[in-house]
């Protein structure tokens, strides 16, 4: 996120590649140049995906297929980059790898620059910057088919001569030219051992400027004698990029800073613009190269992509298609994901029951079943939504539609200071904030991404639904208003709207206070549409799920076990004894003939087992049924007393003074404490608190809990759950960050505890304040 520089090495000496270890080949290029396709074709199905140390930038590497066993070659796929003057964390990583500033990434032995042949000039801007670094370099000229279709005929020999490195034509999507590229890599690599740093230059600068670059390069040579890249391009970047020094951490000593400032002052005094001169000089050279090597065989025409854009960004049709696509995406994570989610939770419950039945009852059994297995269930339950959302996001990105979606939505989002790309993460958060927050990686600007992460959980997610449903069923009168609107439905709608409005307000507030400062201007490429590749889509879904399981899953599991302990301990031994006595008393009363403890235990076991399905409805059974009901009541009372006695129960009482002004009592406090694991836990906890037993999510369970809530009375006989209390409680749940999984994912995605804690605190403060205003305001108005 707004991290400074990800771990720049403080000293100048590069981390040497282990002798005999794998050789690193860096694959780099502009976004949308087909780099991922080239990477997949070179490495096959065995890529390894993780994060760069300390940041949330995807690190992707894989072994070059068919490399000789003696010289294994690792291909490192760098994030798409437009320039060596980074404007996003992704681009900064690319630059830092190429300048070998990341301690855990060996310096590349060879660089392969992927260039989009159909967009040659702009792609060569970055390619020539990389060439100047002096690495042994190959240029992979991809999308030759698109270039030919658009009427660009490229003189490959002429281009290679002008760039000074081999140029290999490719159509990576059709696997054309991949073998030649692989052969070129294998041919080049063995010769690398003693390759000197090559001197290449594509910027013809005025003499004064050239001298300034030379002087600074000489200083760098002295300071960093072990450099693996040419120093003139490094000096050029230091002189021309405002941020080059700032974003390099402690890499450069103060004397470089002084030298840079002096040189800039001299250049300015001589009437030279140190910011733009190099860019203009490079494009001037690229213009020459382009003119000399590209022959236009056809006049610029309307491409298929242009025609498709006419429809997809059309004032009416474009918006309509967008709405339909978003509705489909939302529907699938909100509704379709329910099916595998219910299945998964049934499987986890089944495993829990099975494991529970295999072991003797006791604390270990309880820990395994209710702590560990339930905790694992709490993690895997998110997989269907994550997989489905990333199916859509991957398709939207790979086809090129994502930037069109941002183009369509930017106006709306920019009103509150956000980016068009914030729309999809926010929308997804209505289903679940976890995949929504993970989807913010598509937002390049770190500030926009952070603001989106901070407000995304304010969207009412599906876990709030059971809370709203039960409270509305219990406390909102089922009447019609304004003719055909139901008050219950309107209340639900109001909760959703409340979340949206406050999210937008908070986004605006964060952008204008906490995360203020110059936002980079919106410059977004609209790449030509492409057909998505099934393998890449599946791979993307799988990688994201794996990252979630590995990184966030462990935290979620840990906190779930902790919350289980809070709700279980300390145990009150007298409780179990009392229940034991109560059960025996019930049985003895119904069956006076049973007296011995052994027989009592047997009868109890028989009664607690489910009744035989074919049992006739005889008179004896009605006695048994009555006994069964009494026993169940004892069980539920025991469950309830245990919870009330536990740490969670005590916490509920402890926080009562803090939540009393919101209209909540200590029992609701227990629900709030316990549902920190996940919001829907509130419902099942209240179920236990009020001795109704386990909540199974069915309609009957909802209505029986609702009835129980309605029946709750204060000491003076007034109802506990008035309409006002219910609304206040719902408002609390709209805002409070009652979800450890969100906290864990935000920790993961911002790579710090600072932001998730801040988020938890600000949302908690909002929840308290707005519930307070609701309850106290309502009372002032004479409601409740």
* Comparison of 316 and 780: residue with beta carbon closer to another protein: 316
Q: Which is nearer to another protein, 83 or 173 (CB)?
A: 83
Considering the complex, state which of residue 279 and residue 549 has its C-beta at the smaller distance from another protein. 279
Name residue, tokens 């919001």. Answer: 679
Q: Cis omega before residue 570 (within 30°)?
A: yes
**Between 237 and 369, whose beta carbon lies closer to another protein?**
237
Nearest residue (CB) to another protein, 150 versus 728 = 150
Min separation Cβ 33 and another protein, Å: 11
Q: Min. distance of Cβ 442 from another protein in angstroms?
A: 15
Q: How far apart are CA 369 and CA 371, in angstroms?
A: 6
444 vs 638, beta carbon nearer another protein: 444
Q: How far is the CB of 156 from another protein (least distance, A)?
A: 19
Pick the closer one to another protein by CB: 116 or 749.
Answer: 116
Nearer to another protein, 280 or 696 (CB): 280
Nearest residue to 26 (alpha-carbon basis) of 149, 126, 114? 114
CB 219 within 8 A of CB 256: yes
Any idea which residue has 């025409």 for tokens? 301
Tell me how far apart the alpha carbons of residues 400 and 548 are, in angstroms, rounded to a whole number.
Answer: 25
Beta carbon nearer to another protein, 275 or 338: 275
Binding residues for another protein, rule: CB under 8 A, are: 82-83, 85, 87, 118-122, 125, 150, 241-242, 273, 275-276, 279-280, 283, 300, 309, 313-316, 318-319, 403, 406-408, 410-412, 414, 518, 520-527
CA angle 594–595–599, rounded 5-degree value: 65
Q: How far is CA 382 from CA 330, 475, 545, 698, in A?
A: 15, 31, 9, 21
Q: Are 449 and 443 in contact (CB under 8 A)?
A: yes
Specify the residue, 178 or 418, whose C-beta has the smaller distance to another protein. Answer: 418
Q: How are strands ordered across the β-sheet holding 48-51?
A: 48-51, 58-63, 73-77, 23-29, 110-116, 137-142, 167-169
Q: How far apart are CB 83 and another protein at their closest, in Å?
A: 5
Q: Least distance from C-beta 58 to another protein, angstroms?
A: 22
Q: How far is the CB of 145 from another protein (least distance, A)?
A: 16
C-alpha triplet 314, 315, 320: angle, nearest 5°: 80
Distance of closest approach, residue 238 Cβ to another protein, in angstroms:
14
CA-closest candidate to residue 86, choices 106, 115, 57: 57
DSSP state of 332: I
**Looking at beta carbons only, is 286 or 727 nearer to another protein?**
286
CB contact set of 370 (below 8 Å; sequence gap of 6+): 352, 564, 568
Q: Whole-number minimum distance, CB 305 to another protein, in Å?
A: 8
749-754 contact pairs (CB < 8 A, 24+): 749/1, 749/56, 749/437, 749/438, 749/440, 749/441, 749/453, 750/1, 750/56, 750/450, 750/453, 751/1, 751/3, 751/54, 751/55, 751/56, 752/1, 752/3
Query: What is the nearest approach in angstroms of another protein to the Cβ of residue 202?
Result: 14
Q: At closest approach, how far in Å is the CB of 116 from another protein?
A: 9
Buried b vs exposed e over 668-687: b needs ≥16 C-beta within 10 Å? bbbbbbbbbbbbbbbbbbbb
Output the smallest distance, CB 330 to another protein, in A.
20
Task: Fill in the DSSP letter of residue 139.
Answer: E
Quote the distance between the C-alpha of residue 410 and its chain's center.
Answer: 21
Q: Which residues pair with 26 in a beta bridge?
A: 76, 111
- Kindly state the smallest distance separating residue 178's Cβ from another protein, in Å: 25
* H/E element, 296: strand 294-296
- In angstroms, the CA 177 to CA 169 distance is 6
**Measured from the CB atom, is 512 or 621 closer to another protein?**
512
CA-nearest of 293, 379, 338 to 557 is 379
Spatial distance between the Cα atoms of 414 and 508, rounded to a whole number of angstroms: 9
Q: Which is nearer to another protein, 121 or 629 (CB)?
A: 121
The DSSP code sequence of 448-467 is HHHHHHHHGGGS--TTHHHH
**Shortest distance, position 242 Cβ to another protein, whole Å:** 6
Q: Dihedral of the CA atoms 364, 368, 371, 376 (nearest 10)?
A: 160
Minimum CB–partner distance for residue 85 and another protein (Å):
6
Residue in 234, 255, 9, 29 with CA at minimum distance from that of residue 123: 29
**The pair of three-digit structure tokens given for residue 698, joined into one six-digit string:** 């069915």
Shortest distance, CB of residue 314 to another protein, whole angstroms?
7
Q: Which is nearer to another protein, 276 or 357 (CB)?
A: 276
> Which lies closer to another protein via its Cβ, residue 452 or residue 750?
452
Tell me whether residue 264 or residue 544 sits nearer to another protein (CB atom).
Answer: 264
* H or E stretch covering 168: strand 167-169
Q: Closest separation between CB of residue 468 and another protein, Å?
A: 32
């Amino acid at each position: 996120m707004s991290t400074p520089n990800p771990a720049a090495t403080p000293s100048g000496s590069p981390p040497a590649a282990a002798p005999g270890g794998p050789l690193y080949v860096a694959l780099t290029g502009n976004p949308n140049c087909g780099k991922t396709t080239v990477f997949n074709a070179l490495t096959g199905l065995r890529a390894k995906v993780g994060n760069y140390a300390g940041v949330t930038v995807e690190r992707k590497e894989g072994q070059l297929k068919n490399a000789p066993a003696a010289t294994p070659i690792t291909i490192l796929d760098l994030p798409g980059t437009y320039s060596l003057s980074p404007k996003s964390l992704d681009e900064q990583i690319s630059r830092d790898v190429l300048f070998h500033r990341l301690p855990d990434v060996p310096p590349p032995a060879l660089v392969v620059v992927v260039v989009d042949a159909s967009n040659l000039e702009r792609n060569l801007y970055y390619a020539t910057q990389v060439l100047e670094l002096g690495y042994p370099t190959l240029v992979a000229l991809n999308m030759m088919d698109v270039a030919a279709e658009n009427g660009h005929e490229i003189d490959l020999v002429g281009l290679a001569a002008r760039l000074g490195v081999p140029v290999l034509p490719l159509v990576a999507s059709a696997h054309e030219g991949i073998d030649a590229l692989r052969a070129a890599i294998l041919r080049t690599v063995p010769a690398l051992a003693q390759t000197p740093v090559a001197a290449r230059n594509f910027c013809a600068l005025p003499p004064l400027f050239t001298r300034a670059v030379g002087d600074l390069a000489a200083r760098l040579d002295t300071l960093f004698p072990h450099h693996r890249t040419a120093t003139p391009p490094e000096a050029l970047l230091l002189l021309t990029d405002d941020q080059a020094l700032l974003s390099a951490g402690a890499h450069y000593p103060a004397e470089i800073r002084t030298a840079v400032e002096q040189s800039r002052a001299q250049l300015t005094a001589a009437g030279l613009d140190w910011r733009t001169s190099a860019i203009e000089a490079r494009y001037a050279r690229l213009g020459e190269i382009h003119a000399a090597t590209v022959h236009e065989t056809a006049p610029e025409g309307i491409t298929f992509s242009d025609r498709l854009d006419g429809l997809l960004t059309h004032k009416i049709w474009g918006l309509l298609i967008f709405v339909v696509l978003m509705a489909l995406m939302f529907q699938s994570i909100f509704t379709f994901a329910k099916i595998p989610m219910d299945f998964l939770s049934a499987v986890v419950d089944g495993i829990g029951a099975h494991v529970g039945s295999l072991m003797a009852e006791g604390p270990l059994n309880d820990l395994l079943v209710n702590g560990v297995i339930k905790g694992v269930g709490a993690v895997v339950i998110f997989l269907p939504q994550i997989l489905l959302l990333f199916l859509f996001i991957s398709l939207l990105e790979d086809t090129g539609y994502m930037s069109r979606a941002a183009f369509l939505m930017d106006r709306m989002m920019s009103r509150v200071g956000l980016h068009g790309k914030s729309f999809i993460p926010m929308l997804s958060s209505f289903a679940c904030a976890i995949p929504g927050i993970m989807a913010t990686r598509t937002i390049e600007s770190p500030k926009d991404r952070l603001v989106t992460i901070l407000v995304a959980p304010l969207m009412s997610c599906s876990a709030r639904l059971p809370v709203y449903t039960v409270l509305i069923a219990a406390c909102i009168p089922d009447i019609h208003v304004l003719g055909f609107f139901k008050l219950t439905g309107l209340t639900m709608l109001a909760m959703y709207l409340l979340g949206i409005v406050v999210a937008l307000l908070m986004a605006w507030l964060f952008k204008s206070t906490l995360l203020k400062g110059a936002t980079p201007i919106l410059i977004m490429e609209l790449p030509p549409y492409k057909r998505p590749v099934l393998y890449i889509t599946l791979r993307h879904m799988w990688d994201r799920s794996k990252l979630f399981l590995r990184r966030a899953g462990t935290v979620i599991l840990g906190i779930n076990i902790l919350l289980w302990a809070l709700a279980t301990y300390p145990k009150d031994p007298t409780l179990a004894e009392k229940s034991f006595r109560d059960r025996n008393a019930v049985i003895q009363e119904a069956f006076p003939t049973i007296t011995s403890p052994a027989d009592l235990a047997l009868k109890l076991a028989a009664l607690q087992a489910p009744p035989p399905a074919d049992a006739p409805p005889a008179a004896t059974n009605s006695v048994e049924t009555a006994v069964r009901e009494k026993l169940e009541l004892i069980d539920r009372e025991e469950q309830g007393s245990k919870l009330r006695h536990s740490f969670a129960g005590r916490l509920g009482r402890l926080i009562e003074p803090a939540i009393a002004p919101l209209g909540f009592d200590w029992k609701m406090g227990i629900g709030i404490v316990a549902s920190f694991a996940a919001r829907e836990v509130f419902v099942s906890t209240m179920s236990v608190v009020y001795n109704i037993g386990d909540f199974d999510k069915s309609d009957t369970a909802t209505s029986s809990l609702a009835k129980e809530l309605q029946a709750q009375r204060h000491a003076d006989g007034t109802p506990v759950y008035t309409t006002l209390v219910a609304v206040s409680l719902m408002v609390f749940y709209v805002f409070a960050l009652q979800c450890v999984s969100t906290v864990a994912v935000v920790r993961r995605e911002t790579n710090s505890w600072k932001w998730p804690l801040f988020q938890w605190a600000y949302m908690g403060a909002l929840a308290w304040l707005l519930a307070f205003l609701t309850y106290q305001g309502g009372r002032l108005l004479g409601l409740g």
